């Protein structure tokens, strides 16, 4: 069998980093680890090719070569995925769709011959056999969530590694918390399942052997979901790194209670973690309580962030507007919080009720669901009726983005972060403070684009001057953040224009009974 694995294109969003990636000569942030894992699970005798349409075009000759096409994706890739499925169907090619999208969009809407819901490890052998025999079923759903020890070494040979800014390695799936809006726990469960440490080291060895020396994202839902296992991995990572003069920096995602565990933060620092994404959501405690994000309550969120930063880790934050508890002052409070937090990369989104979540079910019962959503929380099309006037919510959202991504405000946060993390050179440590090949390129391109042609070039030069005089030792990290800031500024301008030209953002309650919503329940 010739199996063609295809990853659909992402739309341009805050999360695509598209306008920053250009600066460093990359085409996408990360490779499609799900498909690389599926490829490794397919029979060894099958021939495999992978096309990630975010980094290369899908050519007719690839389709001609294939006997079967396997697609993966997130909800947000739906449009591109459906186009590819259609293109395959027009050629009479069999299609299989899996990945998170299969958990949030009803199988019938995906238009594929076969849909696989959930994780592939335990069901792929049946699927492959039945595909070969021409008897594959329309829908496959794993009976239980597999142990991660069953997950194979992802097939790295199938991707064009140099086109990505970061490589991805997964240690665990699932998160023990129970936030109302979260679909992670619906898809991957609440019991954190981890790989064996040796599996992770084998993946790192594979990346090193292939010549990779840049950042690695540990793509866990919550890296510290099982703290004991996280510590075990950190110790092994530190030891693994110490063998090499230059090594990877690690990024990951975790819950805010990381700030309560000094031992874990120190181990992460020693292991080479330089940034962590935290779901902070809102500075308003009533919103946290109402959405059951209790781990973020009864604490000073700002102090927790500063504590994590003091271990040399950049904090990236996820924020949500549109909770039922949000009052008119939430927009100012959000901006104030973000500015004081020293979080340069603050991903603010509008609440979305993802199908299958507790939030979706509650809003459905309350008659407030408009449709099954589109998977992009930075899009202003609300899929539910908010408590606050919808137009006001979208205007407030727009004002938050404009304020936090103004050049001045953004550079202030970067400076605060740099002053708190003090990334200083240590002997034999080649971490973020020095100019790597890719951030040296970012520096040159940024000077030309932001410093010469940019509209905000005076703010830019003031920032560069401060970095040059006070933070010389971390010029690489500072310039990388400067180009990311450029992406956020471009996206904010685009989104603002879209909002200004849009009509009423929320539709009438009539659409509530859409078939999609009913099926998703």
With contacts defined by CB under 6 A, how many residues of the chain interact with ligand SF4? 11
Judged by CB under 6 A, the residue of 177, 250, 319, 463 near ligand SF4 is 177
Residues of this chain that interact with ligand B12 (CB under 6 A) are: 10, 13, 15-16, 29-35, 37-38, 70, 72, 74-76, 96, 98-101, 103-104, 116, 119-121, 168, 170, 173, 183-184, 187-188, 219, 221, 349, 375-378
Taking the least distance from each CB to ligand B12, the nearer of 172 and 341 is 172
Give me the phi and psi of 251, to 5 degrees please.
-125, 155
Q: Of residues 213-242, which lie at the interface with ligand SF4 (CB under 6 A)? A: 221-222
Q: Is 315 among the residues that bind ligand SF4 (CB under 6 A)?
A: no
Judged by CB under 6 A, the residue of 33, 182, 215, 338 near ligand SF4 is 182
C-alpha span between 172 and 179 (Å, rounded): 18
H or E segment at 362? Answer: helix 358-365
| Spatial contact of 412 and 485, defined as CB atoms under 8 Å apart | no
Sheet with 216-218, side-by-side order of all strands: 167-169, 216-218, 250-254, 273-281, 314-321, 346-350
Residues in the chain: 521
- The least distance separating ligand B12 from the CB of residue 271, rounded to whole angstroms, comes to 19
Judged by CB under 6 A, the residue of 184, 268, 301, 464 near ligand SF4 is 184
Partner touching 255 among ligand B12, ligand SF4, none, CB below 5 to 8 Å by kind? ligand SF4
| Spatial contact of 117 and 107, defined as CB atoms under 8 Å apart | yes
C-alpha span between 198 and 149 (Å, rounded): 10
Partner touching 33 among ligand B12, ligand SF4, none, CB below 5 to 8 Å by kind? ligand B12
Q: How far is CA 38 from CA 48, 120, 197, in A?
A: 11, 7, 21
Taking the least distance from each CB to ligand B12, the nearer of 291 and 307 is 291
Taking the least distance from each CB to ligand B12, the nearer of 192 and 454 is 192
Q: Which two tokens stand for residue 301?
A: 């969120």
C-alpha span between 497 and 475 (Å, rounded): 33
Partner touching 442 among ligand SF4, ligand B12, none, CB below 5 to 8 Å by kind? none
Q: Which two tokens stand for residue 392?
A: 């006001």
- The least distance separating ligand SF4 from the CB of residue 295, rounded to whole angstroms, comes to 7
Could you tell me which of 245, 301, 304, 252 has the C-alpha nearest to residue 273?
252
Partner touching 308 among ligand SF4, ligand B12, none, CB below 5 to 8 Å by kind? none
Q: Exposed/middle/buried for 428, CB within 10 Å: 0-12, 13-18, 19+?
A: exposed
Judged by CB under 6 A, the residue of 251, 255, 282, 446 near ligand SF4 is 255
Q: Is 175 among the residues that bind ligand SF4 (CB under 6 A)?
A: yes
Collapsing DSSP to helix, strand or coil, 285 comes out as: helix
Name the E strands within 18-113. 47-52, 68-71, 94-97
Partner touching 185 among ligand SF4, ligand B12, none, CB below 5 to 8 Å by kind? ligand SF4
Q: Is 347 among the residues that bind ligand SF4 (CB under 6 A)?
A: no
Taking the least distance from each CB to ligand SF4, the nearer of 188 and 405 is 188
Q: Is 185 among the residues that bind ligand SF4 (CB under 6 A)?
A: yes
- The least distance separating ligand SF4 from the CB of residue 286, rounded to whole angstroms, comes to 17
Taking the least distance from each CB to ligand SF4, the nearer of 52 and 221 is 221
Taking the least distance from each CB to ligand B12, the nearer of 185 and 265 is 185
C-alpha span between 104 and 122 (Å, rounded): 21
Could you tell me which of 340, 394, 390 has the C-alpha nearest to residue 368?
390
Taking the least distance from each CB to ligand B12, the nearer of 156 and 464 is 156
What is the gyration radius of the CA atoms in the chain, in angstroms?
Answer: 23
Taking the least distance from each CB to ligand B12, the nearer of 58 and 120 is 120
Q: Is 378 among the residues that bind ligand SF4 (CB under 6 A)?
A: no
Judged by CB under 6 A, the residue of 58, 179, 258, 274 near ligand SF4 is 179
Collapsing DSSP to helix, strand or coil, 503 comes out as: coil
Taking the least distance from each CB to ligand B12, the nearer of 320 and 407 is 320
Partner touching 96 among ligand B12, ligand SF4, none, CB below 5 to 8 Å by kind? ligand B12
Helix and strand element counts for the chain (H, E): 21, 14
Q: Is 483 among the residues that bind ligand SF4 (CB under 6 A)?
A: no
Q: Exposed/middle/buried for 1, CB within 10 Å: 0-12, 13-18, 19+?
A: middle
- The least distance separating ligand SF4 from the CB of residue 177, rounded to whole angstroms, comes to 4
Collapsing DSSP to helix, strand or coil, 273 comes out as: strand
- The least distance separating ligand SF4 from the CB of residue 291, rounded to whole angstroms, comes to 9
Q: How far is CA 116 from CA 85, 98, 106, in A?
A: 15, 5, 11
Q: Is 384 among the residues that bind ligand SF4 (CB under 6 A)?
A: no
Q: What are the b/e assignments for 144-158, b being 16+ CB within 10 Å? A: ebbebeebeebbbeb
**Strand pairing partners for 217?**
168, 251
Partner touching 291 among ligand B12, ligand SF4, none, CB below 5 to 8 Å by kind? none
The window from 7-15, 80-88, 179-187, 513-521 that contacts ligand SF4 (CB under 6 A) reads 179-187
Taking the least distance from each CB to ligand SF4, the nearer of 184 and 274 is 184
Collapsing DSSP to helix, strand or coil, 121 comes out as: coil
For residue 37, the Cα-to-chain-centroid distance in whole angstroms is: 18
**String of contacts with ligand SF4 for each residue 271-290, x by CB under 6 A:** --------x-----------
C-alpha span between 510 and 521 (Å, rounded): 18
Chain residues in the site for ligand SF4 (CB under 6 A): 175, 177-179, 182, 184-185, 221-222, 255, 279
């Amino acid at each position: 069998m010739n199996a063609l694995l295809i990853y659909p294109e992402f739309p341009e969003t805050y999360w695509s980093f598209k306008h920053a990636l250009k600066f460093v000569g990359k085409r996408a942030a990360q490779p499609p680890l799900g498909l690389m894992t599926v490829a490794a699970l397919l029979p060894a005798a099958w021939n495999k090719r992978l096309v990630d349409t975010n980094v290369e075009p899908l050519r007719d000759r690839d389709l001609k070569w294939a006997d079967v096409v396997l697609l993966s994706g997130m909800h947000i890739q739906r449009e591109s995925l459906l186009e590819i499925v259609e293109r395959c169907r027009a050629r009479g090619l069999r299609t299989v769709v899996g990945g998170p999208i299969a958990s949030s969009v009803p199988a019938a809407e995906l238009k594929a011959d076969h849909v696989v819901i959930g994780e592939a490890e335990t069901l792929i052998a049946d699927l492959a056999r039945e595909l070969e025999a021409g008897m594959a079923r329309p829908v496959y759903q794993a009976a239980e969530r597999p142990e991660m020890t069953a997950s194979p070494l992802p097939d790295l040979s199938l991707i064009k590694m140099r086109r990505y800014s970061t490589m991805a390695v997964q240690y665990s799936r699932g998160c023990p918390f129970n936030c109302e809006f979260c679909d992670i726990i619906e898809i991957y469960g609440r019991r954190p399942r981890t790989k064996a440490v040796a599996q992770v080291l084998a993946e790192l060895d594979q990346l090193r052997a292939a010549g990779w020396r840049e950042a690695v994202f540990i793509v866990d839902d919550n890296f510290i979901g099982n703290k004991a296992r996280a510590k075990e991995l950190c110790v092994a990572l530190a030891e693994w790194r110490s063998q090499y003069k230059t090594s990877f920096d690690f990024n990951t995602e975790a819950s805010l209670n990381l700030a309560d565990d000094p031992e874990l933060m120190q181990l992460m620092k020693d292991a080479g973690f330089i940034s962590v994404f935290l779901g902070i959501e809102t500075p308003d405690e009533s919103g946290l309580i109402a959405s059951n994000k209790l781990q973020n309550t009864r604490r000073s969120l700002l102090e927790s962030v500063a504590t994590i930063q003091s271990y040399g880790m950049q904090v990236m934050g996820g924020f949500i507007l549109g909770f039922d508890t949000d009052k008119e002052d939430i927009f100012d409070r959000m901006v104030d919080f973000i500015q004081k937090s020293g979080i340069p990369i603050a991903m603010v989104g509008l609440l979305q009720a993802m199908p299958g979540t507790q939030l979706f079910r509650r809003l459905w019962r309350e008659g407030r669901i408009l449709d099954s959503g589109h998977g992009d929380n930075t899009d202003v099309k609300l899929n539910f009726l908010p408590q606050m006037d919808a137009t006001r919510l979208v205007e407030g959202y727009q004002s938050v983005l404009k304020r936090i991504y103004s050049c001045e405000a953004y550079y202030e946060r970067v400076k605060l972060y740099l002053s708190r993390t003090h990334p200083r050179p240590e002997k034999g440590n080649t971490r973020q403070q020095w100019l790597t090949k890719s951030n040296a390129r970012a520096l040159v391109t940024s000077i030309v684009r932001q410093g010469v042609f940019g509209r905000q070039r005076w703010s830019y030069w003031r920032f560069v001057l401060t970095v040059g005089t006070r933070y010389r030792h971390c010029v690489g990290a500072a310039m990388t953040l400067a180009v990311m800031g450029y992406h956020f500024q471009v996206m904010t301008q685009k989104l603002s224009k879209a909002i200004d030209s849009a009509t009423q953002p929320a539709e009438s309650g009539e659409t509530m009974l859409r078939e999609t919503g009913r099926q998703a329940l």
